[in-house]
């Protein structure tokens, strides 16, 4: 993916084709963004509050600085996170997304409990 695509400037956005879909539907754009390696982890870690680049990198043990920088650029371009003097943090849209992800986590746990062991993994 090009840097423009990673940063959100020329990449996945509602109204534009996304990986696996040419419709431009917002849900497909969101799933494309969230499906990028490390995206969900970054969002999960930012639920704990604002932090600087190094702090976030420490929270996301194993992420390279280059990949973290690319993911942060993308999330900022999509107004999911912002950066101020206290560091990176979730925007109102990012906090709302986090709430939706928690609801999805609850659904996934209930769903997993209904599967027999040979179905769940």
pLDDT tens-digit readout, 10-53: 577 776 666 766 777 888 889 989 999 999 999 999 999 999 99
Q: What is the pTM of this model?
A: 0.79
| Per-residue pLDDT tens digits for 52-87 | 999 999 999 989 999 999 999 999 999 999 999 999
Find the domain containing 46 and state its range. Answer: 3-102
**Separation CA 74–CA 43 (nearest Å):** 12
The answer to whether residue 74 is domain-embedded is: yes
CATH number for position 30 = 1.10.10.10
The answer to whether residue 109 is domain-embedded is: no
Among the listed residues 66, 68, 67, the one whose alpha carbon sits nearest the alpha carbon of residue 56: 68
Comparison of pLDDT for 6 and 34, the residue scoring more? 34
The answer to whether residue 111 is domain-embedded is: no
The answer to whether residue 93 is domain-embedded is: yes
| pLDDT mean over 91-110 | 96
Q: Are strands 81-84 and 87-90 parallel, antiparallel or unpaired?
A: antiparallel
Domain count, the chain: 1
The answer to whether residue 121 is domain-embedded is: no
Q: Check residue 14 and give its pLDDT.
A: 75
């Amino acid at each position: 993916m090009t840097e423009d695509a990673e940063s959100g400037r020329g990449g996945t956005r509602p109204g534009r084709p996304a990986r696996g879909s040419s419709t431009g539907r917002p849900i497909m754009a969101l799933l494309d963004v969230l499906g990028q390696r490390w995206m969900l982890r970054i969002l999960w870690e930012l639920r704990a509050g604002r932090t600087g680049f190094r702090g976030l990198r420490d929270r996301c043990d194993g992420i390279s600085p280059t990949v973290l920088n690319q993911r942060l650029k993308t999330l900022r371009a999509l107004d999911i996170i912002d950066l101020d003097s206290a560091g990176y943090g979730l925007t109102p849209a990012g906090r709302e997304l986090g709430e939706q992800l928690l609801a999805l986590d609850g659904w996934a746990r209930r769903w997993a409990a209904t599967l027999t062991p040979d179905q769940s993994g």
